[in-house]
Structure 1
């Protein structure tokens, strides 16, 4: 990317519970001046409706660019298209398993595979619990391939009291992995906990 070009981030939304994670990633990208490239799985539409009340069109309108799931000729399917990397929020077990296998059947998993082969950050906000041994082995394989496994864990230390704040904290910490600092994040030693000054007193 040239200095005058806005940074780009590929945003995948799968059908796992936690659809509002993907929605807030898109909101954050807009606030940060990041060009978001959205691709959603077919199951994502159902989860979006059930959990957020938003239609596919309303979510797509939040993205700078949207891509059809079956368009494997899209820009994000090529490593020559420069991006900061890709986040899948939320990431279902099916999606993570397909990425781990390398046998990609949609643009979402193809874009993830491209991100790995280009050695760009691939952040997977995996939504499943409890995890059986097959899940754990798949996650290990993904980590060995270079993916970052970032389940949306509640940040109790931040003193957050609403679901919206917990979601934003998880999204913001995931965006940190791309070097993107989003204002809703409450940081230890800055916003909460001991400050650098008090730690030495």
Structure 2
């Protein structure tokens, strides 16, 4: 009998996240940026900690609108450090502001969505792993993307963070082959020509 990926549970919020979001290909630049930022906040913590605070994060960070956050300064950092609803880590908060500015540059140049999807030629990578113990926590590709993001000015985007981000946003379909979400997520992949009129 097919069963969910072993990490999905036991709390309902985690099960719902697995069943509706994780691994679904994301093609929106802003949404991709939000997920990368949240994965950065996860560093040293569990994802469910971030998931439970995600609505608070969205409120505190103006809906994760990079153009808004890019204009923030020390007063905003101080405000966020006083917000008990989020992870109050100065380095991660300051990095978010800098990452918003880095996003703006990439978005203006080519689109943050295309920047990321170009690494997989616009088509989600698919794995055929049936045992979570065999799942890597990073890859040569996540290391390359991490390196390129850092070169572009991003912080809190190491190879492990980037790999988790790739899994979450469907750049790679890492649902186990025994998971009932593996095939549906694969089916949600879109033709690059439909997403970007010219080839990626």
Scaled by the length of structure 2, what TM-score is found? 0.29
Q: Which has the higher contact order (CA 8 A, sep 6+)?
A: 2
Larger strand proportion, structure 1 or 2? 1
Q: Give the TM-score, by structure 1 length.
A: 0.29
Q: Which has the higher helix share?
A: 2
